[in-house]
Structure 1
């Protein structure tokens, strides 16, 4: 849930959301406690604690919104565990680790400075969807028809040691070789965790030199909103990688549930190739396991999974969909080109810290630079990156119907799991509507043919423009 401060989100709205969330969770908890036949695993519900974990990012409005949210939770009769200034994945971890009924992170991630929001998870850090409580929470928050209960209590625990230990469990520090890394925290919430990881790596004898930048958490974002998807925001990290002759650069968004990579030449690595790289790393460790991926860009990921005898599972993009498919297939890893990476052993949730630790280990064990690890992927399956088009004279469903008709005579393989995917053998594209803006998002890839890629980019850009969609 995200909104513009003072317009669609304020302390009163945060209070209502917190109270509605807690009231519904508490009712479900009591139902399961009193009814052995209630839906769900009875043993899981017996082990849960009637608390809600709350954390918040560094934005200047976040602590006020978190306080209002916690007041709503307590007024609903639920206890609160306040874990302080955190990234989203810390709430995911604490919710499962503490066996809490749910968790809330107050964050707007990479959104503009005048926005904020709340990310909600239920027991075992499972995401909420419209049919799993989100619509019910919205209706109750809007109606304000709250029930009276004895007020819950709040306790505070900002100890990150269990979380840091969990992150470190993903790597073998004995395999680390000397590496120099640049980490850009973007003045967001990542710095305290990065500092503790540096301490843990040093204590374990890992020979890593880590240079930090934009490292002081500052909700005014003096170096701009931490969003490395914006090309201009990559420059500082790229310059630092070159200046320090680093082996790799890492940059985070505001709540560090995504991390972005730069190779030793300061080249930004598209997220789809990182998915392939991590899929290969996991399949080397865990043969025949399942890897989940989204349909926006998939040639390389599918090739890696096939070459390493893994099991492929495609999911609609978006964290709730990816996590559901991962749980159903017990997948060891899931990745999106948007730089969200999900891990079975991290309660099937996404983490921005685990990927860079894994990549540092991969650079060490392969003794290859990052550029070499991804160059084969890039040359074998070049892609356009995500191209955004703003709609002015048409809507997304009509546009997608029109492009399907435009290419129908070429008899492509069609997939509508997430928007429209059309595969012509030598190349494919995916066109999907944004969930939050009047945009469509286009991805094109080919099988090793850069000139064909350029040709198709031009053709589809011209066609979309003729339909009233303009490059955003």
Structure 2
């Protein structure tokens, strides 16, 4: 196979346009490569709502069987349900067919091994790619078996455990708008709602791979208006939106205002450290000042690590970290096999609002004023590396620190920035934050954008 056909192999998953970058033949080869390289006995497979996903899953399952693997078909589900099934049932691996928040003509695969340990470019993806390029894809003598099974009931019970010994008893009867964006979250939210005292107001809850209301990616400002309006119209205390495979969760306060995931990281870290003093908390390098300050003040140890779910999970295991959070709204939990969950996080925020009696705007308001941010700004550029070097040339001489954990981070007395290339899309990503200075934030953001544009 031509190496050009493997453009979908990224840093921590497989993702690309269908059929240009990813097609049924390549999915079959990936399944055979996974079986040959890792020799698993049993693997679970799930898929999202994209129109190509059921066929991709069918071909993938057949390929794993041809490679001698027994397969548990989870059907349509969220990525974290594949993680849960893998670690809770002791499977040797799991594969989720999803392209998360990418455009609807994309698809991909997220792969994990035993214990839901991520498989990425550093520990297996490159080996799979090499097997495919060299056609080293043996068919096993024994064909694996396949069965359909759902672990959703056990998964829901596991989610509710994060509410602690008191469970739902002390939760307030809030009104919460839930917007799955026609992704996979709708059925899970409906099941959770049966156990909770809140009133869930669902919008766009029906899974629909045509994405009639746009691709579910609440990080895009144009996708937030529907949730904002629903919060205001229903006088809700909270609005929640998810991406397509619901491993990311986004919040809107009682005024319908979008709350950057960065501030949620600090909020959860502080809450979790109250019952786990001294624990390590991981965060990504894009925005850091608020998280470091909150974690340190709460007696925890903040640890910066590379952006991306596979890298975050690996480092969490190394540090035995309690919790990890990314500003992109990925939240990782030790008791969830160090995996990310878009469901645990909103249950914890709901619990925190109930316990304090405070609205979300007050829980994060002071932190937002103390460390205002630009929000992640994405730009397509012809030469991303040249653009990054241009920014460094303009600013680095005045920096008090420059680090390269992921892309380039430059820190100054009153502001800092991170500029990096996306691991999953052909984009340059910029984040800027200041110390309580919105005017400086606007000035520096405009200056950097002028250079890269």
Q: TM-score range with shorter-chain normalisation?
A: over 0.9
Change (3 A) 1:6 1:400: closer
In the alignment, is the contact (CA less than 8 A) between 1:432 and 1:441 conserved in 2?
Answer: yes
Equivalent residue runs for 1:139-158 within 5 Å: 139-149=130-140, 150-158=142-150
In the alignment, is the contact (CA less than 8 A) between 2:15 and 2:424 conserved in 1?
Answer: no
CA distance in 2 between partners of 1:347 and 1:267 (Å): 32
**Counterpart pick for 1:197 among 186, 192, 199:** 192
CA distance in 1 between partners of 2:376 and 2:186 (Å): 29
CA distance in 2 between partners of 1:224 and 1:407 (Å): 38
In the alignment, is the contact (CA less than 8 A) between 1:22 and 1:52 conserved in 2?
Answer: no
In the alignment, is the contact (CA less than 8 A) between 2:391 and 2:448 conserved in 1?
Answer: no
2:303 maps to 313
User: Cα deviations across residues 323-369 of structure 1 (Å, max 9, x unaligned)?
Assistant: 11111111111000011110000010001011110100000011100
Matched, 1:378 2:368: yes
Matched, 1:135 2:126: yes
Q: CA deviation at 1:411?
A: 4.2
Change (3 A) 1:6 1:398: closer
Equivalent residue runs for 1:37-56 within 5 Å: 50-56=41-47
Q: CA deviation at 1:435?
A: 2.6
- TM-score by length of structure 2 reads 0.94
CA distance in 1 between partners of 2:371 and 2:310 (Å): 28
**Counterpart pick for 1:416 among 397, 404, 422:** 404
In the alignment, is the contact (CA less than 8 A) between 2:43 and 2:92 conserved in 1?
Answer: yes
User: Cα deviations across residues 235-288 of structure 1 (Å, max 9, x unaligned)?
Assistant: 111111001000000001110010110000000001111111111111122111
CA distance in 2 between partners of 1:385 and 1:184 (Å): 21
1:427 maps to 415
Q: CA deviation at 1:292?
A: 0.2
CA distance in 2 between partners of 1:6 and 1:129 (Å): 22
CA distance in 1 between partners of 2:139 and 2:411 (Å): 56
CA distance in 1 between partners of 2:110 and 2:356 (Å): 37
- DSSP-derived class of the 2:205 partner: coil
**Counterpart pick for 1:242 among 229, 232, 251:** 232
Matched, 1:9 2:22: yes
Change (3 A) 1:423 1:25: same
- DSSP-derived class of the 1:223 partner: coil
CA distance in 2 between partners of 1:396 and 1:300 (Å): 28
- Give structure 1 stretches of 5+ with no counterpart: 30-49, 202-206
CA distance in 2 between partners of 1:400 and 1:232 (Å): 27
Larger Rg: 1
1:232 maps to 222
For the aligned residue pairs, the C-alpha RMSD in angstroms reads 1.3
Equivalent residue runs for 1:39-438 within 5 Å: 50-149=41-140, 150-171=142-163, 172-201=167-196, 207-392=197-382, 395-438=383-426
Q: CA deviation at 1:56?
A: 0.5
- DSSP-derived class of the 2:92 partner: strand
Q: CA deviation at 1:141?
A: 2.5
1:443 maps to 431
Q: CA deviation at 1:303?
A: 0.9
- TM-score by length of structure 1 reads 0.90
- DSSP-derived class of the 1:131 partner: coil
CA distance in 2 between partners of 1:18 and 1:235 (Å): 40
CA distance in 1 between partners of 2:425 and 2:245 (Å): 21
CA distance in 2 between partners of 1:279 and 1:436 (Å): 27
Deviates more, 1:414-423 or 1:429-438: 429-438
Change (3 A) 1:229 1:379: same
User: Cα deviations across residues 136-184 of structure 1 (Å, max 9, x unaligned)?
Assistant: 1112223333223210000111241111111111113122112110001
- Give structure 2 stretches of 5+ with no counterpart: 1-13
**Counterpart pick for 2:31 among 15, 18, 30:** 18
